[in-house]
Chains A and B, each alone.
Chain A
Amino acid sequence: MAEKKWMPRWFYQLASPRWCYEITGKLLPWFFAAAVVLLIGGAVWALLFAPADYQQGNSFRIIYLHVPSAILAQSAYMLMAVAGAVGLIWKMKVADMVLKSAAPIGASMAVLALATGAIWGKPTWGSWWVWDARLTSMLILFFLYLGVMALNSAIENESTAAQASAVLALVGLVNIPIIKYSVEWWNTLHQPATFKLTEKPAMPAEMWLPLLVMVIGFYCFFAVSLMQRLRNEIIWRERRTGWVRELLNKQ
Protein backbone atom coordinates (compact mmCIF):
# COMPACT_ATOMS: atom_id res chain seq x y z
CA MET A 1 0.00 0.00 0.00
CA ALA A 2 2.86 2.35 -0.79
CA GLU A 3 0.87 3.86 -3.60
CA LYS A 4 -0.73 7.17 -2.78
CA LYS A 5 -4.50 6.97 -2.59
CA TRP A 6 -6.21 9.28 -5.03
CA MET A 7 -9.73 8.91 -3.83
CA PRO A 8 -11.34 9.01 -0.37
CA ARG A 9 -11.40 5.80 1.58
CA TRP A 10 -15.09 5.05 1.00
CA PHE A 11 -14.39 4.94 -2.73
CA TYR A 12 -12.05 1.97 -2.28
CA GLN A 13 -14.34 0.38 0.26
CA LEU A 14 -17.23 0.47 -2.18
CA ALA A 15 -15.07 -1.52 -4.55
CA SER A 16 -15.47 -4.51 -2.26
CA PRO A 17 -18.66 -6.33 -3.26
CA ARG A 18 -19.19 -7.58 0.26
CA TRP A 19 -18.86 -4.14 1.83
CA CYS A 20 -21.08 -2.69 -0.87
CA TYR A 21 -23.70 -5.35 -0.22
CA GLU A 22 -23.71 -4.59 3.48
CA ILE A 23 -23.85 -0.80 3.18
CA THR A 24 -26.65 -0.89 0.60
CA GLY A 25 -28.53 -3.25 2.90
CA LYS A 26 -28.36 -0.61 5.61
CA LEU A 27 -29.33 2.27 3.32
CA LEU A 28 -32.14 0.47 1.54
CA PRO A 29 -34.94 0.79 4.16
CA TRP A 30 -34.35 4.53 4.53
CA PHE A 31 -34.54 5.21 0.83
CA PHE A 32 -37.52 2.89 0.55
CA ALA A 33 -39.41 4.77 3.26
CA ALA A 34 -38.48 8.13 1.73
CA ALA A 35 -39.58 7.00 -1.73
CA VAL A 36 -42.95 5.74 -0.47
CA VAL A 37 -43.66 8.89 1.54
CA LEU A 38 -42.52 11.33 -1.14
CA LEU A 39 -44.18 9.56 -4.07
CA ILE A 40 -47.53 9.06 -2.35
CA GLY A 41 -47.49 12.50 -0.75
CA GLY A 42 -46.32 14.17 -3.94
CA ALA A 43 -48.89 12.36 -6.09
CA VAL A 44 -51.79 13.24 -3.77
CA TRP A 45 -50.62 16.85 -3.58
CA ALA A 46 -50.09 17.06 -7.33
CA LEU A 47 -53.30 15.36 -8.42
CA LEU A 48 -55.75 16.63 -5.81
CA PHE A 49 -54.49 19.89 -4.37
CA ALA A 50 -52.31 21.59 -6.95
CA PRO A 51 -54.31 24.11 -9.00
CA ALA A 52 -55.33 23.22 -12.55
CA ASP A 53 -53.85 25.11 -15.44
CA TYR A 54 -56.01 27.93 -16.77
CA GLN A 55 -55.48 26.88 -20.33
CA GLN A 56 -54.95 23.14 -20.31
CA GLY A 57 -57.12 22.34 -17.34
CA ASN A 58 -56.23 19.08 -15.64
CA SER A 59 -54.28 17.57 -18.50
CA PHE A 60 -51.22 19.53 -17.47
CA ARG A 61 -50.94 17.30 -14.39
CA ILE A 62 -49.10 14.74 -16.47
CA ILE A 63 -46.13 17.05 -15.93
CA TYR A 64 -45.83 15.50 -12.46
CA LEU A 65 -44.87 12.21 -14.09
CA HIS A 66 -43.25 13.51 -17.24
CA VAL A 67 -40.69 15.90 -15.77
CA PRO A 68 -39.40 13.60 -12.98
CA SER A 69 -39.07 10.64 -15.32
CA ALA A 70 -37.25 12.74 -17.92
CA ILE A 71 -34.87 14.12 -15.28
CA LEU A 72 -34.25 10.64 -13.92
CA ALA A 73 -33.63 9.16 -17.37
CA GLN A 74 -30.81 11.67 -17.85
CA SER A 75 -29.42 11.41 -14.31
CA ALA A 76 -29.38 7.62 -14.53
CA TYR A 77 -27.47 7.88 -17.77
CA MET A 78 -24.88 10.17 -16.22
CA LEU A 79 -24.50 7.79 -13.28
CA MET A 80 -24.09 4.94 -15.75
CA ALA A 81 -21.38 6.79 -17.66
CA VAL A 82 -19.51 7.68 -14.45
CA ALA A 83 -19.72 4.04 -13.33
CA GLY A 84 -18.44 3.05 -16.76
CA ALA A 85 -15.46 5.40 -16.47
CA VAL A 86 -14.65 4.13 -12.97
CA GLY A 87 -14.94 0.56 -14.21
CA LEU A 88 -12.62 1.25 -17.12
CA ILE A 89 -9.99 3.14 -15.12
CA TRP A 90 -9.94 1.32 -11.77
CA LYS A 91 -11.23 -2.05 -13.03
CA MET A 92 -13.78 -2.15 -10.24
CA LYS A 93 -16.26 -4.96 -10.52
CA VAL A 94 -18.84 -3.09 -8.45
CA ALA A 95 -18.78 -0.21 -10.92
CA ASP A 96 -19.45 -2.66 -13.75
CA MET A 97 -22.40 -4.01 -11.80
CA VAL A 98 -23.75 -0.50 -11.16
CA LEU A 99 -23.59 0.20 -14.89
CA LYS A 100 -25.40 -3.01 -15.70
CA SER A 101 -28.05 -2.46 -13.02
CA ALA A 102 -28.76 1.17 -13.89
CA ALA A 103 -29.43 0.60 -17.60
CA PRO A 104 -32.88 -1.07 -17.41
CA ILE A 105 -34.12 1.43 -14.81
CA GLY A 106 -32.97 4.36 -16.93
CA ALA A 107 -34.54 2.80 -20.01
CA SER A 108 -37.91 2.47 -18.27
CA MET A 109 -37.68 6.11 -17.16
CA ALA A 110 -36.98 7.15 -20.75
CA VAL A 111 -39.99 5.13 -21.94
CA LEU A 112 -42.17 6.74 -19.29
CA ALA A 113 -41.00 10.22 -20.29
CA LEU A 114 -41.57 9.56 -24.00
CA ALA A 115 -44.99 7.97 -23.42
CA THR A 116 -46.31 10.66 -21.07
CA GLY A 117 -44.97 13.31 -23.45
CA ALA A 118 -46.84 11.75 -26.38
CA ILE A 119 -50.05 11.41 -24.38
CA TRP A 120 -49.79 15.09 -23.41
CA GLY A 121 -48.70 16.18 -26.88
CA LYS A 122 -51.78 14.85 -28.67
CA PRO A 123 -54.35 17.11 -26.95
CA THR A 124 -51.99 20.05 -26.40
CA TRP A 125 -49.96 20.31 -29.57
CA GLY A 126 -52.26 18.29 -31.80
CA SER A 127 -49.70 15.59 -32.52
CA TRP A 128 -48.37 12.50 -30.77
CA TRP A 129 -44.89 12.92 -32.08
CA VAL A 130 -42.86 15.60 -33.80
CA TRP A 131 -39.29 15.14 -34.96
CA ASP A 132 -37.99 18.15 -33.11
CA ALA A 133 -34.58 18.22 -31.45
CA ARG A 134 -35.78 17.56 -27.89
CA LEU A 135 -37.97 14.58 -28.72
CA THR A 136 -35.46 13.05 -31.09
CA SER A 137 -32.52 13.34 -28.70
CA MET A 138 -34.65 11.77 -25.96
CA LEU A 139 -35.46 8.88 -28.28
CA ILE A 140 -31.72 8.48 -28.94
CA LEU A 141 -31.16 8.33 -25.18
CA PHE A 142 -33.63 5.45 -25.02
CA PHE A 143 -31.79 3.64 -27.82
CA LEU A 144 -28.48 4.17 -26.02
CA TYR A 145 -29.96 2.46 -22.98
CA LEU A 146 -31.13 -0.40 -25.17
CA GLY A 147 -27.64 -0.62 -26.67
CA VAL A 148 -26.00 -0.86 -23.25
CA MET A 149 -28.48 -3.55 -22.19
CA ALA A 150 -28.01 -5.47 -25.43
CA LEU A 151 -24.20 -5.36 -25.17
CA ASN A 152 -24.36 -6.56 -21.60
CA SER A 153 -26.50 -9.55 -22.45
CA ALA A 154 -24.88 -10.36 -25.79
CA ILE A 155 -21.32 -10.69 -24.48
CA GLU A 156 -20.89 -13.65 -22.21
CA ASN A 157 -17.60 -12.70 -20.59
CA GLU A 158 -18.45 -10.35 -17.74
CA SER A 159 -15.42 -8.08 -17.95
CA THR A 160 -15.55 -7.79 -21.76
CA ALA A 161 -19.26 -6.98 -21.56
CA ALA A 162 -18.55 -4.35 -18.92
CA GLN A 163 -15.80 -2.76 -21.01
CA ALA A 164 -17.91 -2.66 -24.16
CA SER A 165 -20.95 -1.20 -22.45
CA ALA A 166 -18.81 1.31 -20.54
CA VAL A 167 -17.36 2.61 -23.81
CA LEU A 168 -20.86 2.87 -25.29
CA ALA A 169 -22.11 4.68 -22.18
CA LEU A 170 -19.23 7.17 -22.42
CA VAL A 171 -19.77 7.73 -26.14
CA GLY A 172 -23.46 8.40 -25.53
CA LEU A 173 -22.70 10.89 -22.78
CA VAL A 174 -22.50 13.63 -25.41
CA ASN A 175 -26.26 13.24 -25.87
CA ILE A 176 -27.03 14.57 -22.36
CA PRO A 177 -26.08 18.22 -22.98
CA ILE A 178 -27.80 17.96 -26.36
CA ILE A 179 -31.06 16.93 -24.67
CA LYS A 180 -30.70 19.64 -22.08
CA TYR A 181 -29.92 22.50 -24.43
CA SER A 182 -31.89 21.33 -27.49
CA VAL A 183 -34.75 23.66 -26.60
CA GLU A 184 -32.38 26.61 -26.39
CA TRP A 185 -30.12 25.94 -29.34
CA TRP A 186 -32.80 25.20 -31.89
CA ASN A 187 -36.40 26.00 -32.73
CA THR A 188 -38.41 23.19 -31.20
CA LEU A 189 -42.06 22.51 -30.51
CA HIS A 190 -41.15 21.39 -27.01
CA GLN A 191 -41.19 24.19 -24.45
CA PRO A 192 -38.06 25.05 -22.45
CA ALA A 193 -37.19 23.52 -19.10
CA THR A 194 -39.65 23.79 -16.23
CA PHE A 195 -36.89 23.68 -13.63
CA LYS A 196 -33.76 25.67 -14.08
CA LEU A 197 -30.92 25.69 -11.60
CA THR A 198 -30.31 29.39 -11.94
CA GLU A 199 -33.81 30.81 -12.25
CA LYS A 200 -37.11 30.68 -10.51
CA PRO A 201 -39.52 28.17 -12.09
CA ALA A 202 -41.96 29.74 -14.52
CA MET A 203 -44.98 28.67 -12.49
CA PRO A 204 -46.42 29.49 -9.07
CA ALA A 205 -45.06 27.71 -6.01
CA GLU A 206 -48.22 25.70 -5.38
CA MET A 207 -47.57 24.06 -8.74
CA TRP A 208 -43.82 23.51 -8.68
CA LEU A 209 -43.51 22.42 -5.03
CA PRO A 210 -45.36 19.12 -5.61
CA LEU A 211 -43.27 18.73 -8.76
CA LEU A 212 -40.11 19.09 -6.68
CA VAL A 213 -41.43 16.51 -4.20
CA MET A 214 -42.12 14.12 -7.08
CA VAL A 215 -38.62 14.64 -8.50
CA ILE A 216 -36.97 13.86 -5.15
CA GLY A 217 -39.33 10.89 -4.73
CA PHE A 218 -38.29 9.59 -8.15
CA TYR A 219 -34.63 9.90 -7.14
CA CYS A 220 -35.31 7.86 -3.99
CA PHE A 221 -37.22 5.30 -6.01
CA PHE A 222 -34.31 5.11 -8.43
CA ALA A 223 -31.89 4.59 -5.53
CA VAL A 224 -34.07 1.79 -4.14
CA SER A 225 -34.40 -0.08 -7.41
CA LEU A 226 -30.73 0.45 -8.29
CA MET A 227 -29.56 -0.89 -4.92
CA GLN A 228 -31.84 -3.90 -5.16
CA ARG A 229 -30.67 -4.77 -8.65
CA LEU A 230 -27.08 -4.18 -7.56
CA ARG A 231 -27.46 -6.48 -4.56
CA ASN A 232 -28.90 -9.22 -6.77
CA GLU A 233 -26.03 -8.78 -9.18
CA ILE A 234 -23.45 -8.92 -6.36
CA ILE A 235 -24.96 -12.10 -4.92
CA TRP A 236 -25.05 -13.70 -8.35
CA ARG A 237 -21.49 -12.84 -9.30
CA GLU A 238 -20.07 -13.65 -5.88
CA ARG A 239 -22.10 -16.82 -5.48
CA ARG A 240 -18.96 -18.98 -5.20
CA THR A 241 -17.34 -16.93 -2.44
CA GLY A 242 -17.42 -17.85 1.21
CA TRP A 243 -19.35 -14.86 2.50
CA VAL A 244 -22.26 -15.36 0.11
CA ARG A 245 -22.49 -19.05 1.00
CA GLU A 246 -22.48 -18.10 4.64
CA LEU A 247 -25.23 -15.57 3.97
CA LEU A 248 -27.32 -18.15 2.20
CA ASN A 249 -26.82 -20.72 4.92
CA LYS A 250 -28.03 -18.25 7.50
CA GLN A 251 -31.35 -17.83 5.72
Chain B
Amino acid sequence: MTPKRKQRLLVVLFIVFGVSAAVGLTLFALNQNINLFYSPTQIAAGEAPVNTRIRAGGMVVDGSVKRDSESLFVRFDITDYDKTVTVEYTGILPDLFREGQGIVAQGSLNEQGVLQAVEVLAKHDENYMPPEVAEALEKAGKMPMPEGQEFNK
Protein backbone atom coordinates (compact mmCIF):
# COMPACT_ATOMS: atom_id res chain seq x y z
CA MET B 1 0.00 0.00 0.00
CA THR B 2 1.49 3.29 -1.04
CA PRO B 3 1.77 6.12 1.53
CA LYS B 4 -0.87 8.04 -0.41
CA ARG B 5 -3.33 5.16 -0.18
CA LYS B 6 -2.56 4.73 3.49
CA GLN B 7 -3.34 8.35 4.06
CA ARG B 8 -6.63 8.05 2.20
CA LEU B 9 -7.45 4.90 4.16
CA LEU B 10 -6.96 6.90 7.35
CA VAL B 11 -9.28 9.60 6.05
CA VAL B 12 -11.95 6.99 5.25
CA LEU B 13 -11.60 5.40 8.70
CA PHE B 14 -11.74 8.83 10.27
CA ILE B 15 -15.00 9.61 8.46
CA VAL B 16 -16.63 6.32 9.44
CA PHE B 17 -15.55 6.30 13.08
CA GLY B 18 -15.92 10.04 13.58
CA VAL B 19 -19.47 10.02 12.28
CA SER B 20 -20.29 6.88 14.29
CA ALA B 21 -19.01 8.47 17.49
CA ALA B 22 -20.91 11.71 16.87
CA VAL B 23 -24.17 9.96 15.99
CA GLY B 24 -23.73 7.46 18.83
CA LEU B 25 -23.33 10.22 21.41
CA THR B 26 -26.31 12.11 19.97
CA LEU B 27 -28.54 9.06 20.13
CA PHE B 28 -27.32 8.30 23.64
CA ALA B 29 -28.24 11.82 24.70
CA LEU B 30 -31.64 11.59 23.03
CA ASN B 31 -32.23 8.06 24.26
CA GLN B 32 -35.51 8.73 26.04
CA ASN B 33 -36.98 10.71 23.17
CA ILE B 34 -36.48 7.91 20.66
CA ASN B 35 -38.57 5.42 22.62
CA LEU B 36 -41.95 5.21 20.97
CA PHE B 37 -43.80 4.64 24.21
CA TYR B 38 -43.56 4.60 27.97
CA SER B 39 -43.86 1.31 29.82
CA PRO B 40 -46.35 1.07 32.73
CA THR B 41 -43.38 0.90 35.09
CA GLN B 42 -42.06 4.19 33.78
CA ILE B 43 -45.51 5.76 34.13
CA ALA B 44 -45.89 4.45 37.68
CA ALA B 45 -42.47 5.90 38.49
CA GLY B 46 -43.72 9.29 37.33
CA GLU B 47 -41.40 9.49 34.34
CA ALA B 48 -44.22 10.29 31.91
CA PRO B 49 -45.55 13.87 31.90
CA VAL B 50 -49.19 14.44 32.89
CA ASN B 51 -51.65 16.15 30.52
CA THR B 52 -49.26 15.86 27.60
CA ARG B 53 -49.65 13.68 24.55
CA ILE B 54 -47.70 10.49 25.20
CA ARG B 55 -47.77 6.84 24.20
CA ALA B 56 -47.98 3.92 26.58
CA GLY B 57 -47.32 0.32 25.64
CA GLY B 58 -48.02 -2.99 27.34
CA MET B 59 -49.98 -6.19 27.31
CA VAL B 60 -53.76 -5.97 27.72
CA VAL B 61 -54.55 -7.57 31.09
CA ASP B 62 -56.78 -10.65 30.90
CA GLY B 63 -60.32 -9.90 32.02
CA SER B 64 -59.78 -6.17 32.27
CA VAL B 65 -61.57 -5.10 29.09
CA LYS B 66 -64.89 -3.42 29.90
CA ARG B 67 -67.01 -2.21 27.01
CA ASP B 68 -69.87 0.23 27.28
CA SER B 69 -73.01 -1.30 25.79
CA GLU B 70 -74.31 2.09 24.60
CA SER B 71 -71.21 3.52 22.92
CA LEU B 72 -67.75 2.69 21.64
CA PHE B 73 -66.26 3.51 25.02
CA VAL B 74 -63.87 0.87 26.30
CA ARG B 75 -61.68 0.68 29.38
CA PHE B 76 -58.84 -1.77 29.92
CA ASP B 77 -55.57 -2.20 31.78
CA ILE B 78 -52.16 -2.62 30.20
CA THR B 79 -49.26 -4.15 32.03
CA ASP B 80 -45.61 -5.08 31.74
CA TYR B 81 -46.27 -7.67 34.46
CA ASP B 82 -44.78 -5.30 36.97
CA LYS B 83 -47.01 -2.23 37.00
CA THR B 84 -50.39 -1.61 35.40
CA VAL B 85 -51.95 1.43 33.77
CA THR B 86 -55.64 1.91 33.00
CA VAL B 87 -56.55 3.11 29.51
CA GLU B 88 -59.86 4.67 28.46
CA TYR B 89 -60.66 4.92 24.78
CA THR B 90 -63.63 5.76 22.61
CA GLY B 91 -63.38 4.46 19.08
CA ILE B 92 -62.73 1.45 16.93
CA LEU B 93 -60.02 -0.88 18.16
CA PRO B 94 -57.64 -2.62 15.73
CA ASP B 95 -58.57 -6.13 14.64
CA LEU B 96 -55.73 -7.67 16.60
CA PHE B 97 -56.85 -6.06 19.85
CA ARG B 98 -57.68 -8.64 22.48
CA GLU B 99 -56.74 -9.61 25.98
CA GLY B 100 -53.13 -10.69 26.22
CA GLN B 101 -52.20 -8.70 23.11
CA GLY B 102 -49.44 -6.12 23.17
CA ILE B 103 -50.75 -2.64 22.31
CA VAL B 104 -49.50 0.93 22.12
CA ALA B 105 -52.00 3.64 23.10
CA GLN B 106 -51.55 7.33 22.39
CA GLY B 107 -53.19 9.86 24.67
CA SER B 108 -52.66 11.88 27.80
CA LEU B 109 -52.47 10.89 31.43
CA ASN B 110 -54.93 12.57 33.75
CA GLU B 111 -54.29 13.29 37.42
CA GLN B 112 -55.64 9.88 38.42
CA GLY B 113 -53.01 8.23 36.25
CA VAL B 114 -55.56 7.02 33.68
CA LEU B 115 -54.52 7.27 30.05
CA GLN B 116 -57.20 9.01 27.96
CA ALA B 117 -56.34 7.41 24.64
CA VAL B 118 -57.10 8.91 21.25
CA GLU B 119 -55.47 6.12 19.28
CA VAL B 120 -54.84 2.44 20.04
CA LEU B 121 -52.39 0.47 17.89
CA ALA B 122 -51.84 -3.27 18.11
CA LYS B 123 -48.23 -4.23 18.57
CA HIS B 124 -47.83 -7.38 16.60
CA ASP B 125 -45.60 -9.57 18.71
CA GLU B 126 -47.38 -12.85 19.31
CA ASN B 127 -45.42 -14.83 16.79
CA TYR B 128 -42.11 -13.51 17.92
CA MET B 129 -41.29 -12.28 21.36
CA PRO B 130 -42.69 -9.03 22.71
CA PRO B 131 -39.36 -7.25 23.03
CA GLU B 132 -40.03 -4.44 25.47
CA VAL B 133 -42.51 -6.36 27.57
CA ALA B 134 -40.31 -9.41 27.54
CA GLU B 135 -37.36 -7.29 28.49
CA ALA B 136 -39.26 -5.66 31.31
CA LEU B 137 -40.49 -9.07 32.42
CA GLU B 138 -37.06 -10.53 32.37
CA LYS B 139 -35.82 -7.67 34.49
CA ALA B 140 -38.65 -8.23 36.94
CA GLY B 141 -37.91 -11.95 36.85
CA LYS B 142 -41.50 -12.87 35.92
CA MET B 143 -41.24 -14.26 32.44
CA PRO B 144 -44.72 -15.50 31.52
CA MET B 145 -45.43 -17.96 28.77
CA PRO B 146 -46.71 -15.81 25.92
CA GLU B 147 -49.79 -17.45 24.57
CA GLY B 148 -49.84 -18.76 21.03
CA GLN B 149 -46.20 -19.08 20.04
CA GLU B 150 -47.48 -21.23 17.20
CA PHE B 151 -48.39 -19.71 13.88
CA ASN B 152 -50.75 -22.46 12.92
CA LYS B 153 -53.97 -23.39 14.49
Contacts and interface: CB of A to CB of B under 8 A. Distances in A.
Pick the most buried of B23, B31, B132, B151: most chain A CB atoms within 10 A of its CB.
B151
A158 to B, nearest CB: 18
B127 interface: yes
A204 B152 contact: yes
A238 interface: no
5 contacts: A125-B122, A184-B131, A187-B38, A191-B124, A202-B129
A207 B120 contact: no
B123 A54 contact: no
Interface stretch (B1-9, B43-51, B62-70, B71-79): B1-9
Interface of B: 1-2, 5, 8-9, 11-12, 15-16, 19-20, 23-24, 27, 31, 34-39, 57, 93-96, 104, 119-129, 131-132, 148-153
Contacts of B152: 51-52, 54, 204
Contacts of A198: none
The list of the 3 closest CB pairs from A to B, nearest first, reads A126-B94, A54-B153, A132-B36
Interface string A40-74: 00000000000111111000000000000000000
Interface residues of A, number: 42
A56 B124 contact: yes
Contacts of A170: 12, 15-16, 19
A189 B121 contact: yes
A231 to B, nearest CB: 27
Contacts of B119: 126-127
Contacts of A139: none
A29 interface: no
Nearest to B22: A174
Pick the most buried of A85, A183, A184, A187: most chain B CB atoms within 10 A of its CB.
A187
Interface string A162-199: 00000100110110001000011111110110100000
Interface string A212-240: 00000000000000000000000000000
